[in-house]
């Protein structure tokens, strides 16, 4: 019997990928527009290109964004299906956790 559900594993993967302010900025930016080129992001963000590439790789690996090569640049956009899943999983989790009683410890 497995105690960790498939949904919990997916939510943890999304949460890990979202666990940095730069990544949250990229996700917020992409949620407001259809796409963005990696070169445009390097002009906006105060980080070196290699660091940005690592952040984009983490978001892509988690499935939150997708990239398409348009040489010499890469166009990034949200992976709408996984983005919707992440929203749904986190919403359910937050609703459940606000409906629980306070934890009481015996002293």
Domain layout of the chain by residue ranges: 6-87
Q: What is the pTM of this model?
A: 0.84
In this structure, the strands spanning 73-78 and 36-37 are antiparallel
The CATH number for 6-87, chosen from 2.60.120.380, 1.10.10.410, 3.50.50.60, 1.10.10.10, is 1.10.10.10
Nearest alpha-carbon partner for 22 in 50, 55, 64: 55
Q: Report how far residue 83's alpha carbon sits from residue 95's, in angstroms, rounded to the nearest whole number.
A: 18
* pLDDT tens-digit map of 52-95: 999 999 999 999 999 999 888 899 999 999 999 999 999 998 88
97 confidence band (pLDDT: 50, 70, 90): low
């Amino acid at each position: 019997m497995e105690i960790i559900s498939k949904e919990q594993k997916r939510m943890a993967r999304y949460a890990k990928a979202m666990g940095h302010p730069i990544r949250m900025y990229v996700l917020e930016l992409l949620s407001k527009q259809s796409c963005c080129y990696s070169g445009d992001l390097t002009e906006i963000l105060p980080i070196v290109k290699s660091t940005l590439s690592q952040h984009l790789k983490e978001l892509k690996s988690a499935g939150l964004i997708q990239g398409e090569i348009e040489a010499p640049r890469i166009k990034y956009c949200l992976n709408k299906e996984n983005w919707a899943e992440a929203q749904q999983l986190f919403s359910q989790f937050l609703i459940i956790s606000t409906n629980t009683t306070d934890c009481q410890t015996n002293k």
